[in-house]
Structure 1
């Protein structure tokens, strides 16, 4: 079977990708800052990165570095070129070319770096994972009043579904940009907040506020959504039920 390197292999997405690849009998190398034998900070690169990519049939780039993402991608691409890696697979976000968020701009820049790398590449864009939406709502629920962006919707996706798609793609040849992955339902932030409060047994007053700026306008227009690619099956309610206890329901079940 193939030898596959997964960057960010101990993270929310990388961990299930590694588990699925191992279940298919691939040799999996896990690269993260604190995980020997490939404990590498991609922003620094170095000989250990070269060792990690050497002989790999594919590299799945799942690392999510808020500061230094471009430097990390540049170092990874250069190491992959030196090693002659035939396939570089990247997970990005739906709307990075439509919503003018700084983080999205960085992800889009990394996409273009990979596309121009001279290495065979595959690109998958996904909507936001359930885990990220939950983390955001937990932060917003710390005060007694939850302040929410008015008229903004989201389409949360189960991370293991994205992981399964990445594992499938990593085992095959480079295919360029594949179809986006979106969650099974599009909900307003108020609906997401109410679902979280029900599941967690908390009470908060919800207040929706308009926000300034182009990024907010892009989100209101739904630039980060993929309504035609609602391929996920696990709903936000089902995700919350697993986290907090309660009956599970999945879209299409």
Structure 2
């Protein structure tokens, strides 16, 4: 079995990685700025939790001690966290190297280097930081999560409208399927080259209108489905189809099956 440290192990994907790794019998530690309380539902039995901050380096040595592989599921979507995202990755890689870690596996976004959207730019910069590391690194580029599209629909439905974007198709993936790809990369036999990129796409490609219709049917939400232009870098990225990898359908949980599991909470 492998000793795995999950950076960001309390987040959407990180929590799924921890759950799968513990179930597989691995030794699992979680690195997070804010450690869940002992009685919290966010704290999973079988994992050790460490308070650590990749932006300062505080706590990293203790969290990484004895670790074979780091799985980086950290997010930095806004403000200071986004600005320091790549630097945090470099700091984590350096600390992992000092701790004798053999490999880092990092969650990223499909074709993030083809977008000028600031969040995607920060992801691409972090990929480059890992590519400069002396450690073996594997970047797992996932398509967008089911929850992202559902969140867009829910936000619009509060105003009586369910927005879809002109020319947009999605190949969304569940956090659990993305987590399985990360864990597979973490436990696979080492191989060349030193720095590799893998892709994890959802099981189907759908228009945004198809997804909106499914979301309304399953959630029972009201609102008129409307088509809107999406300007800026994100609109260009979606219209170009850079969010799609139909040849890499590794996920098994469809948007509909994911929604049905969460019908009561959506």
Q: Same fold (TM over 0.5)?
A: yes
- Residue from 132, 152, 155 that aligns with 1:136: 152
Larger CA deviation: 135-144 vs 196-205: 135-144
Instruction: Indicate the residue corresponding to 2:114 in structure 1.
Output: 98
> For the residues of structure 2 that align with 1:119 and 1:145, how far apart are their CA atoms?
48
Quote the offset at 1:196 in angstroms: 1.0
Instruction: Indicate the residue corresponding to 1:86 in structure 2.
Output: 102
Q: Extract structure 1 runs of 4+ deviating beyond 4 A.
A: none
Instruction: Indicate the residue corresponding to 1:2 in structure 2.
Output: 2
Spell out the pairing of 1:41-52 with structure 2 (5 A cutoff).
Answer: 41-46=53-58, 48-52=59-63
Spell out the pairing of 1:6-25 with structure 2 (5 A cutoff).
Answer: 6-25=6-25
Contact 1:121 1:174 in 2 (8 A): no
Quote the offset at 1:100 in angstroms: 2.3
Quote the offset at 1:109 in angstroms: 0.8
Deviations 1:196-233 (A, max 9, x none): 11111111112212233343122101011111112222
Describe the SS at the equivalent of 1:231: coil
Describe the SS at the equivalent of 2:112: coil
Instruction: Indicate the residue corresponding to 2:68 in structure 1.
Output: 57
Contact 1:88 1:174 in 2 (8 A): no
> For the residues of structure 2 that align with 1:173 and 1:43, how far apart are their CA atoms?
30
Q: Does 1:27 align with 2:38?
A: no
> For the residues of structure 1 that align with 2:94 and 2:198, how far apart are their CA atoms?
27
- Residue from 167, 175, 181 that aligns with 1:151: 167
Contact 1:150 1:210 in 2 (8 A): yes
Spell out the pairing of 1:1-253 with structure 2 (5 A cutoff).
Answer: 1-35=1-35, 37-46=49-58, 48-66=59-77, 67=82, 68-175=84-191, 176-244=195-263
Deviations 1:70-127 (A, max 9, x none): 2321221221122221101111111212232111111011011101111111111111
Larger CA deviation: 78-87 vs 170-179: 170-179
Runs of 5+ in structure 2 lacking a partner? 37-48
Contact 1:96 1:105 in 2 (8 A): yes
TM-score computed with the length of structure 1 as normaliser? 0.90
Contact 1:127 1:181 in 2 (8 A): yes
Describe the SS at the equivalent of 1:38: strand
Structure 2 vs 1, CA of residues 7 and 189 (structure 1 numbering), >3 Å: closer, same or farther?
same
Contact 1:31 1:39 in 2 (8 A): yes
Deviations 1:135-162 (A, max 9, x none): 2322222211233321111111122122
